[in-house]
């Protein structure tokens, strides 16, 4: 199962983390200079849950945005009934 939302296909994205030194020009310096660039990843907030997909209960990964919007139809939980004896 890939690390990807089942409903909106949101997945890990890559970007850069840039290290700079110096004082900005607006603060009276000569400007910021880039000293290093490192790759980093941005991971979505995915949750494992049981949902109804094509009429069957399956475990899926869904991002929190899809859960809040109501795209996910969750499995109904049955309450345990305790009888007094």
**Per-residue tens of pLDDT for the chain, all 85 residues:** 689 999 999 999 999 999 999 999 999 999 999 999 999 999 999 999 999 989 888 999 999 999 999 999 887 777 777 787 7
User: Given the DSSP bridges, would you call strands 13-21 and 33-42 parallel, antiparallel or unpaired?
Assistant: antiparallel
Predicted local confidence at residue 84, as pLDDT: 76
* Secondary structure of residue 26 in the 3-state scheme: helix
Predicted local confidence at residue 1, as pLDDT: 63
Alpha helices in the chain (DSSP H): 64-69
Predicted local confidence at residue 74, as pLDDT: 83
Q: Which residues of 40-53 are buried (b: 16+ CB within 10 A; e: fewer)?
A: eeeebebeeeebee
- Is the pTM higher than 0.75? no
Residue extents of the structural domains in the chain: 13-69
């Amino acid at each position: 199962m890939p690390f990807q939302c089942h409903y909106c296909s949101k997945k890990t994205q890559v970007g850069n983390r840039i290290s700079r030194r110096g004082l900005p020009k607006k603060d009276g310096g000569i400007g910021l200079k880039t000293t290093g660039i490192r790759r980093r990843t941005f991971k979505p907030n995915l949750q494992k849950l049981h949902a109804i997909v094509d009429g069957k209960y399956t475990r899926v990964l869904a991002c929190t945005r899809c859960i809040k919007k109501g795209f996910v139809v969750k499995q109904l939980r049955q309450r345990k009934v305790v009888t007094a004896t």
